Amino acid sequence: MILVDNRNVTDPSINLAIEEYLVRHADCNGKDYLFLYINAPCIVLGKNQSIYREVNFNFLRSNQLKLCRRISGGGTVYQDKGNLNFAFIAAFANEKVNNYKFFNQLIIDALMEVGLHATMDARNNILYEEKKISGNAQFTDRKNLISHGTLLFDADLSLLRNSLEENEFQVFTKAPQSVQSSVTNIQPYVNRVSTAEELKDFITTFSKPESVFQFTEKQWEEIKNSAIEKFESYEWVYGRSPQTKIKKTEFEIVVEDGIVTALKFGNSNFEQLERELIGVKYCATEIKKSVAHYLDHGELFQMIF
């Protein structure tokens, strides 16, 4: 096992860019890589999910949390500094696809060493006493494969629930929806470690890495550019959402590739606004700007977004 050094970066966009760089460029001929990292507070969607169904709009409006999208499928997760992320990068092989136990056994064994008896369920989650402590997903380019997941150590579960709380309005989309699960932190049930950072250090030692992989400055620049140009771009975070129709009491709106393509209010006084919003990016910043010249723009903003 080769340990990946990310220079202790907690920026989720950079860490997501590192994952993609590794799966596309790492030399996995006869060796596997382990990447452990902790992110600053954020919400991370699966590659093919609709942001408008997965995330609570109160949080989208407030911009309290950074919104991100990873290269793998699976469901939406909340992360903060009480959450440990792990990623295994290996050469592609058919028998490794969806074989989460093959990768996660090291994590389960490490948890056992700190006093936690964890198991895996049929949905490839890691559980403790029937409660989810880790969700997992995979991505492959048919050369390498990444199998990655999360570990809830002492994350803010209240913020997790509020940020992913189902919205009151109707949402219609063919995008895959996250499966709601009962979750728990593992901190109260472990010994030998008291923080997510300490658990990271423990798993690092437990994995007995042969060496540490460090990016060259050229590679690091490529990763940082990818973080900005792809993982922080509107086109990736919002625009990858499949066509989504949002239906409230006051209006119906259709969003495709992150852009408003159809809008109809129940109130005929808003016909001009309907025309003005076609082609606008459907995110808090752009919608707020679009309604700013209306006297009741505060109420309009809350209504539309």
Mean pLDDT, rounded, of the chain: 95
Rounded to whole angstroms, the Cα distance separating 79 from 203 reads 19
195 alpha carbon, distance to own chain's centre:
21
Final residue before a domain boundary, out of 217, 237, 257: 237
Last residue of a domain, one of 181, 203, 237: 237
CA gap 112, 179 in Å, rounded? 27
In a domain, 40, yes or no: yes
pLDDT at 63 over 70: no
Confidence of residue 84 (pLDDT cuts 50, 70, 90): very high
Q: Is residue 243 part of a domain?
A: no
| Average pLDDT of the residues in 142-166 | 95
pLDDT at 31 over 80: yes
In a domain, 61, yes or no: yes
Instruction: Report the 10 Å Cβ neighbour count for 268.
Output: 7
Give me the count of residues in the chain.
305
Cα separation, 218 vs 286, in Å, equals 35
Q: Are residues 58 and 82 in the same domain?
A: yes
pLDDT average, residue stretch 175-197: 96
Give the per-residue pLDDT at 95: 97
Average pLDDT over residues 238-244: 97
DSSP string computed for 43-67: EEE-TT--HHHHS-HHHHHHT-SEE
Q: What is the CATH number of the domain that holds 274?
A: 3.30.390.50
* Same domain, yes or no: 130 and 25: yes
279 lies in which domain range? 248-304
CA 280 to chain centre: 25
Q: What pLDDT sits at residue 295? A: 66
In one-letter notation, the amino acid at residue 165 is E
For 205-237, letters b (16+ CB in 10 Å) and e give ebbeeeeebebeeeebeebbebbeebbbeeebb
The reply to whether 255 and 225 lie within a common domain is: no
Mean of the pLDDT values across residues 64-82? 95
Are 29 and 120 members of one domain? yes
With a cut of 80, say whether residue 45 has pLDDT above it: yes
Residues 167 and 293 in one domain: no
pLDDT tier for residue 65 given thresholds of 50, 70 and 90: confident
Q: Return the residue matching tokens 């593992």.
A: 186
Q: Among 190, 215, 237, identify where a domain stops.
A: 237
- pLDDT (0 to 100) of residue 304: 86
At 62, the pLDDT band (50, 70, 90 cuts) reads confident
CB distance 141 to 24 below 8 Å:
yes
Do residues 94 and 40 share a domain?
A: yes
Q: How does residue 296 score in pLDDT terms, banded at 50, 70 and 90?
A: confident
Position 188 confidence tier, pLDDT thresholds 50, 70, 90? very high
pTM: 0.95
In angstroms, the CA 118 to CA 131 distance is: 10
* pLDDT band at residue 269 under the 50/70/90 scheme: confident
Q: Look at residue 238 and tell me whether its pLDDT is greater than 90.
A: yes
Total tally of structural domains belonging to the chain:
2
Question: Within this chain, do residues 63 and 207 fall inside the same structural domain, yes or no?
Answer: yes
Same-domain check for residues 290 and 231: no
Report whether 228 contacts 13 (CB < 8 A). Answer: yes
Per-residue pLDDT at 273 exceeds 80? yes
